Chains A and B, each alone.
Chain A
Amino acid sequence: MGARAVLALVRAGFRRHTSYRAAILGGAATNSMFGLLRAGIVTATLASAGGHLGGYAAAGGIAYVWISQALVAPLQIFTWDDLAVRVRSGDLAVDLLRPVDLQLLYGAQDLGRALALTLPRGLPPLAVGALTFGLALPTDPRAYLFGLTAVVLGAGVSFACRYLVNLSAVWLLDVRGVLTLYVTVTGVLCGLVVPVRWFPPWLATVDAATPFPAMLQAPADILTGRVHGTAVAGVLAVQVAWLAAMLAAGQLVQRAAARRLVVQGG
């Protein structure tokens, strides 16, 4: 399995997700609309808290909202069932015949998807945020370099988790319920719904033991400049650790799934 083949897969994922320009624009419009609503709620919350809450002042809270809305699509926080659909239709058997590891096959394409969507789905909400609420972003160029690294790592963690959830289709077949559960839990625990720093202690403790903050909270913290200096290394290290752990879990489950797989129909 050469690097050329992996690159080709990443490119395929990239092209697939840049082909539908209207859908990209529409999605960015919806992210922006939710940004307007969330920025309003976060601003009012911070005002009610006396200006500061969980390490965010008004400008930081607003930046957090727009950065997180910009990252929803590249990090694929919402439903993804491509693999589960192929399990149910039996097409997974075709995928298993390919001379590529199944996780690598889907992971490389997902990386292409994330890279393709980062700017076209990210910049419009940021522009709307800058024009309406104002956007205070870090001036240090390293914040963007490390921030984009964290986005790629976060997209990796997101993929590794979605891959596991989708593989459960091998045992369950109908995974709509599991997917809904996964999406709702992710939305809260990754920090999209409210910043993780605002969680009550018990929820923060639960959350810290899951891979979800490594998806969105980590890149958002770096891109808003909330985490800077040497602390960035710690955040990136946690992301790398979760990525490795979830990919390894995916490999284990994938091996069990290949033994368990029964192709439905003829």
Chain B
Amino acid sequence: MVEAAPGRTAAYRAILGARLRSQLVYRTSFALDVAGSTMVALTDFVEVYVIFHNVPTLGGLDAAAAFLVFGLGTLGFALGNAVCGELDGMPQYIRTGTLEVLLLRPIPLLAQIITGDVRLKRFGGAAVGVVVLVVGLRWTHVHWTPARVVLVVISPLAGAVLFGAVFLAAGAVQFWLVDAADVTDGFTYGSAYAARYSSAALPLPVRLLFAFVVPAAFTAYLPALALLGLPGPPWLPAWLGWCAPGVGVLAWGAALLMWRSGVRHYTGAGG
């Protein structure tokens, strides 16, 4: 296995390089896609703007803290979506039989699908996340400690990992339910929506669902509580905000188990 490693890295590098270059060939289309991704994130922000135009706090957070949560959630989701969003296409892979072609190649299925389309256009949404995050950070007056600096850098990355796990689990479900993107959208895009708001604003069962089953709260709300030194609502103590990377590892473990059992369950679409 060790000897095979360089060849394998080269193969991945070639695939990734080709995919990234191919997105840049049609300049106008790429620019429009980036603009589209930016617009989607801006629309999400309008919702926050309209709410805080009307009320001073939502779910225990003022506008500044809400910006922080929105920024972290949007950035984490954009990064996770850029890398793992292609798993959204699993229903098409299965229905059209493309999956059989991928299964024949000597590279693990998951690695092929993920490297198959790293979506650079998502960086439009990431840019909106960064801007709102920076505004939130300056506005909230975080009492900076070395640990909190590490936390603010790690949180969007942990968020990307967590959202990646959600995409992976949603992709794995498609092996059992034919064309079930309509169902799993509620979890993938629902988790992105839940991540942008204070979890304290959600009723308890929904709050727990989007914290401990779909780990949306760990991507933005809980790290923001830890950064600001705020207490959390019932069932979500603020110290959980430091646990996002660990939860990310757990989530990937669970999602990978689902994926593996899905691939074993798969019998082909009769292509």
Segment from B51-59, B160-168, B224-232 that makes contact with A:
B51-59
Chain B proximity of A142: nearest CB distance (Å): 31
Q: What per-residue 1/0 map shows which CB atoms of A26-44 lie under 8 Å from chain B?
A: 1101101110110011011
A177 in contact with B33 given A184-B39, A184-B40, A193-B47 (CB within 8 Å)? yes
Segment from A3-11, A196-204, A246-254 that makes contact with B:
A196-204
Point out the residues of chain B lying under 8 angstroms from A181, CB to CB: 35-36, 39
Instruction: Please measure, in the bound complex, the distance between the C-alpha atom of A176 and the C-alpha atom of B183, giving whole angstroms.
Output: 24
Choice from B55, B187, B190 contacting A49 with Cβ under 8 Å: B55
Point out the residues of chain B lying under 8 angstroms from A44, CB to CB: 58-59, 198, 200-202
Chain A proximity of B3: nearest CB distance (Å): 44
Chain A proximity of B220: nearest CB distance (Å): 14
A-B contact count (CB 8 A): 116
Cβ-based interface call for A101 (8 A)? no
**Within residues 57 to 109 of chain B, which ones have a CB less than 8 A from any CB in chain A?**
57-59
**Within residues 39 to 74 of chain A, which ones have a CB less than 8 A from any CB in chain B?**
40-41, 43-45, 48-49, 53-54
The reply to whether B46 and A193 form a contact with Cβ atoms under 8 Å apart is yes
The reply to whether A34 and B190 form a contact with Cβ atoms under 8 Å apart is yes
Instruction: Please measure, in the bound complex, the distance between the C-alpha atom of A210 and the C-alpha atom of B42, giving whole angstroms.
Output: 20
Point out the residues of chain A lying under 8 angstroms from B182, CB to CB: 23, 25-27, 29-30
Cβ-based interface call for B250 (8 A)? no
Cβ-based interface call for A149 (8 A)? no
Cβ-based interface call for A89 (8 A)? no
A177 in contact with B193 given A40-B202, A45-B54 (CB within 8 Å)? no
Chain B proximity of A172: nearest CB distance (Å): 10
Q: What per-residue 1/0 map shows which CB atoms of A154-184 lie under 8 Å from chain B?
A: 0000000000000000000010110011001
DSSP class of B's interface residues: helix, strand, loop or mixed?
A: helix
The reply to whether B32 and A176 form a contact with Cβ atoms under 8 Å apart is yes
In the complex, residue of chain B having the shortest beta-carbon distance to the beta carbon of A180: B36
Instruction: Please measure, in the bound complex, the distance between the C-alpha atom of A200 and the C-alpha atom of B50, giving whole angstroms.
Output: 7
The reply to whether B51 and A41 form a contact with Cβ atoms under 8 Å apart is yes
Cβ-based interface call for B29 (8 A)? yes
Chain B proximity of A250: nearest CB distance (Å): 24
Choice from A23, A27, A194 contacting B51 with Cβ under 8 Å: A194
A33 in contact with B54 given A23-B182, A40-B203 (CB within 8 Å)? no
Instruction: Please measure, in the bound complex, the distance between the C-alpha atom of A187 and the C-alpha atom of B40, giving whole angstroms.
Output: 10
Instruction: Please measure, in the bound complex, the distance between the C-alpha atom of A189 and the C-alpha atom of B11, giving whole angstroms.
Output: 47
Point out the residues of chain B lying under 8 angstroms from A22, CB to CB: 177-180
Cβ-based interface call for A85 (8 A)? no
Closest 10 CB pairs of A and B: A26-B182, A177-B32, A33-B186, A180-B36, A44-B201, A30-B186, A40-B202, A48-B55, A26-B183, A184-B43
Q: Can you list 29 residue pairs at the A/B interface with Cβ under 8 Å?
A: A23-B179, A26-B179, A26-B180, A26-B181, A26-B182, A29-B186, A30-B183, A30-B185, A30-B189, A33-B190, A37-B190, A37-B210, A40-B206, A41-B201, A45-B51, A45-B54, A48-B56, A49-B55, A53-B55, A54-B54, A176-B29, A177-B29, A180-B37, A184-B36, A184-B40, A188-B43, A188-B46, A193-B46, A199-B50
Which residues on B are within 8 Å of A, measured CB to CB? 28-29, 32-33, 35-37, 39-40, 42-43, 46-47, 50-51, 53-59, 177-183, 185-187, 189-190, 193-194, 197-198, 200-203, 206, 210
Contacts A33-B187, A180-B36, A198-B54 supplied; 19 other A-B pairs, CB < 8 Å: A22-B178, A25-B182, A27-B182, A30-B183, A32-B186, A36-B203, A36-B206, A37-B190, A37-B194, A37-B206, A41-B202, A43-B203, A44-B198, A45-B58, A54-B54, A181-B39, A188-B46, A188-B47, A200-B53
Which residues on A are within 8 Å of B, measured CB to CB? 22-23, 25-27, 29-30, 32-34, 36-37, 40-41, 43-45, 48-49, 53-54, 132-133, 174, 176-177, 180-181, 184-185, 187-188, 193-194, 198-200, 203
